[in-house]
Amino acid sequence: MNGGSPEKWIHEAEALLEQGQVERAVQFIGDSVEKSDDGDKACETAVALLQQYSLWNESLALLEKAARSGGKNHIIWFLKANALDALNPDPPAAKGSPEERSLRESLQCYQKSLEIKKDFPLTWFHKALVEEKLGLIDEAMRSWKAFIDLNPGPELKPQADYARQRLGRARGSALPPAGPPGTESETWLGRLAHGDAQDARAFIDAAERLKAQGVPLEPRPRGKTSLFSIPLEVILLFLSLPVMVPSLLINFITAKRWGRIDFVLLAVDGFIILLFALRSTVATIIILIALAASALLLILRYQKIPCGIFLGYSNLVAMLLMGGGLVFMTGAHMLIPWTALSELTAAMGSEKKVKADQLITRSMGYDSYVTLENDSLEWEWAIYRLVYKDHYEFTRYNPEMGIVISKADELWERREELAGKIVTLAAVRVSPTVIEGSQLEYSFTDKGTKEKDYEKRYFAAVPEANGRVWVLSKPVTSPLDPPLKEFLAQENYRGLLVISFATADMGRWYSSRYGMNLPYMGVAIIPDKSPAVETKKPQRIETWVPVKGTGKTLWLAYRGLATSGTAPRALSGLYKGSMGPINGISELLPDINYFKGPLQKPLVIMAASSRAAYIKENDLAGEFLRGLNWGALLLALPGALVIVGGLFISARE
């Protein structure tokens, strides 16, 4: 054990308390106080430490021992009175109850402290609080006045403001004390009960004087004035919940005590919560509103702060706020579709003009409405995102034009992949010399069963593919002209891609016109055939186009099918950074390399002509309303009732 000054052992005792070894710490503190050179100083320090951890009974045991040993230190009596007060936080339930006796003993300790040092302000202040708790209003008023008369310094300004407030209310709503302190008739009730006609006349004279001064004689109903502030307090409190409830929980769970919670702690907790919320626009707005509301609540309740543990609220009210707030916030969180709300608020934000390289270097925040300056799109690399109920996929397949191919030899190279699918051969030149015939032998894949098409058609070869790609017309049911001209005048040839095989008849036609043998196998596009397997229709289609010069890192995504002619000229939209990993692009475009580096997804701007158009096209308001979970009100409403009930209790405390 350590003797001497408290500094030699107090840190070791605090370490034991931090580790939760309460019994060992209390024993250590008691032994150290006994061995200390300065018993009173050691006792003060030890009691302050114990009361910091709400160990009121343990601190009371030390104080009892110190009081018995002499008790000439006013601080010892002051601390003992505080401990007795803390052990009985609420007014006594009945006269003569253990709680009342303990509070009466607390008053006696305050009185002994004042007998030793009458000019110690805090003793008068806390004595007045206990007197009010016991219903001794006149005595409390005298204690408040004694506290004010001592001119407490700036460090006690909140207590001084509260004392003046209590004195002002008493002077305006009740008769003054009837007699000097210490007499049996010091209150009018006692004086009239034990007095005579002279006392009655004195009471009437005092009442008449107050009436002439315009002072109301009837006591103000408790809580009546405060009830007017409850609606504003309710609103501010609900707005403050996102920072207030976490702050209360942190103090309740981790602080090992339930003592006074300074507003500074709430501000620190709110700032930390704000740092976590910065990634979401909605969360940032909510936390900023909560911090502002809590600051206004602090101003509203500033004079009541000395009366409770948290913003002037009592222990009971703080517990109701914490419990009700937690239930309410849980219900509110379940009620609101946060993803839809986040996208809606992001679309409603201010528009920013940026360059593409700014977005690639991530100097812009996600979920912002942006317009690209001096940039253009690579429409030849446009791809489509098909969104289904349970998944999505990327494809070069245009739901209206099929898989769009601009080079005929690519059809031959990808024949096994494309056989049986609808394709469009775009912007090609076919041979002006066509074959009119039938008996096309083909299969959907190179391993499938061969079939024959006996309908009369025009067969046109595509020179760029060395005779291996054929485009067929629809069945010929009319003279050659004009159907042949219409067939040759097309720019885009759309139809079912099949793997074709040479026949003797086609070989003779081909060699007689081109002077060479027909390739044994090629591909043909049949315009009126259906694919072998019907594909499921997606719920939503998006057209994705890379921004030129960004190496396909930055994409503009249009809702629906878009072309260079139909897309809005302004490259505007919501810059999305929360779409998650985008599967399928690297397989569709194997030449892109950002999937191999730290960036595992493309950067996307969901395009729209304006913010209002984006909200309307994506039905964001409707999606938010449809996403509301009304069943969560079964949690939110009871939590709100608990909070309001706590405020009504606070107004009457």
Task: Provide block-wise average pLDDT over 10 residues at a time, the chain (653 residues).
Answer: 56 68 71 64 72 72 67 78 81 79 87 87 89 82 87 80 74 48 49 63 65 50 48 84 84 64 81 80 84 87 74 80 87 85 75 80 69 83 84 74 81 85 85 80 73 86 85 81 81 88 77 74 86 65 87 85 80 72 70 62 82 78 87 89 83 66
The pairing of strands 469-472 and 451-453 is unpaired
Torsion angles phi and psi, residue 470, rounded to 5: -120, 140
Which residues sit opposite 116 in a β-bridge? none
Q: Max Cα separation, the chain?
A: 144
Token pair belonging to 276: 């976590």
Q: How far is it, in rounded angstroms, from Cα 553 to Cα 600?
A: 10
Strands (E), 220-366: 351-354
What is the separation of C-alpha 523 from the centre of its chain, rounded to a whole number of angstroms? 57
CA distances from 495 to 422, 486, 533, 624 (A): 5, 16, 14, 41
Q: What is the pLDDT of residue 307?
A: 67
The per-residue pLDDT for 399 is 64
- Is residue 651 within 8 A of residue 315, CB to CB? The reply is no
Q: Give the pLDDT of residue 586.
A: 72
* CA 432 – CA 458 distance, rounded (Å): 11
Beta bridge partners of 392: 387
- Concatenating the DSSP letter of every residue in 18-66 gives HTT-HHHHHHHHHHHHHH-SSHHHHHHHHHHHHHHTT-HHHHHHHHHHH
Helices 281-300 and 338-347 pack at an angle, to 10 degrees, of 90
Q: Give the number of other Cβ atoms within 10 Å of residue 310's Cβ.
A: 25
First-to-last C-alpha distance (Å) of the chain:
46
The token pair that represents 526 in the structure block: 């049949």
H-state helical runs in 278-337: 281-300, 315-335
3-state secondary structure 161-204: HHHHHHHHHHHHHCCCCCCCCCCCCCCHHHHHHHCCHHHHHHHH
**Helix or strand holding residue 103 (H, E):** helix 98-116
User: What's the confidence (pLDDT) of residue 471?
Assistant: 92
Q: Which residue in the block uniquely carries the two structure tokens 């609900």?
A: 238
Phi, psi of 21 (to 5 degrees): -90, 70
